[in-house]
Amino acid sequence: MQTIKTTSALRAAIRQWRSDGLSIAFVPTMGNLHAGHISLVETARQQADKVVVSIFVNPTQFGLNEDFDSYPRTEREDQEKLIASNADLLFLPAVQEMYPQTSKTGISVASLSTILCGESRPGHFDGVAVVVCKLLNMVQPDLLLLGEKDFQQLAVIRQMVADLNIPVEIKGIATVREADGLAMSSRNAYLSETERQLAPMLFQAISTVRDEILAGAADFETLVVRQSQRLQQAGFVVDYFQVRRSADLMPASATDQSLVVLIAARLGKTRLIDNVHFCR
């Protein structure tokens, strides 16, 4: 696996592969790779001739009081995992390489970027959209793989790619979970031992709401309020708990078929998100 730190070297490698007629799949990450990331790389491996992974902790998607400085950076271990999963190229740019000048161009995906996580993290999805757009322009992949754990991020990027005619196919990959149901996330490392015991309640709560809907319940509000109360009693601070249409993340009505139950909640200093999507 080659590790490349500059855009010019990245472009040269891509140019060579393109002239050899090879297809490229791309997995953007912020590093601290876990089994969820590796499942993206493994799917990429099956779908294209070459697999590019980026590791870049993007400062523009963190708010002022968020965890940019403390976000786990584990480059060496990440490189070993990528070699073991047969990635071809790791793009590992410094902040100066990604943002050599003060950017004056923004990307805001109206409505999708400001609801749910966008409400409590203003500007977050604008930062994500810009960095993913830049990375897509640099890598120019045929296929982009993203985890469904960040369901709203996936929706924002799908909309951006469609609106800006970016020539890439997007594949959302199912969330990988710990044995007790907790969605894998780099931020799980922030949980204390006691919090880690409680954390699977999040997945239990959204799964219960899904099961109740599949069993015929139609008053979504009552379902999520009941589960929110259970979580609050256990010590979670629920940011949002919503049943939405999975196509556009707008509030779901009793007749919508394709649904997603989304949650964000704080446990101590850790903000956790999760979702389940399903059809009825």
Judged by CB under 6 A, does residue 183 bind ligand PAF? no
- Our answer to whether residue 37 is catalytic in this structure is yes
The tokens describing 112, both together, are 């999708």
Judged by CB under 6 A, does residue 132 bind ligand PAF? yes
Q: Which amino acid is at 211?
A: D
Q: Which amino acid is at 93?
A: P
C-beta of 58 vs 270, nearer to ligand PAF = 58
Contacts of 209 (CB under 8 A, 6+ apart): 220, 223, 224, 227, 243, 261
Q: Kindly tell me which residue out of 7, 14, 25, 29 binds ligand PAF, with binding defined by CB under 6 A.
A: 29
How far is Cα 76 from Cα 66, in angstroms, rounded to an integer? 24
Separate counts of helices (H) and strands (E) for the chain = 10, 9
Judged by CB under 6 A, does residue 148 bind ligand PAF? no
Contact 154, 172 (CB under 8 A): yes
Task: Given the residues 34, 37, 124, 277, select the one marked as catalytic.
Answer: 37
- The distance of closest approach from Cβ of residue 261 to ligand PAF in the complex, given in angstroms and rounded to an integer, is 20
Q: Which amino acid is at 233?
A: Q
Pattern 31-60, ligand PAF, x by CB under 6 A: ---------------------------x--
- Quick one: residue 250, left, alpha or beta (phi over 0 = left, psi -120 to 50 = alpha)? beta
Pattern 215-254, ligand PAF, x by CB under 6 A: ----------------------------------------
Interface contacts to ligand PAF, rule CB under 6 A: 28-30, 58, 61, 128, 131-132, 150, 153
Which residues form the catalytic set? 37
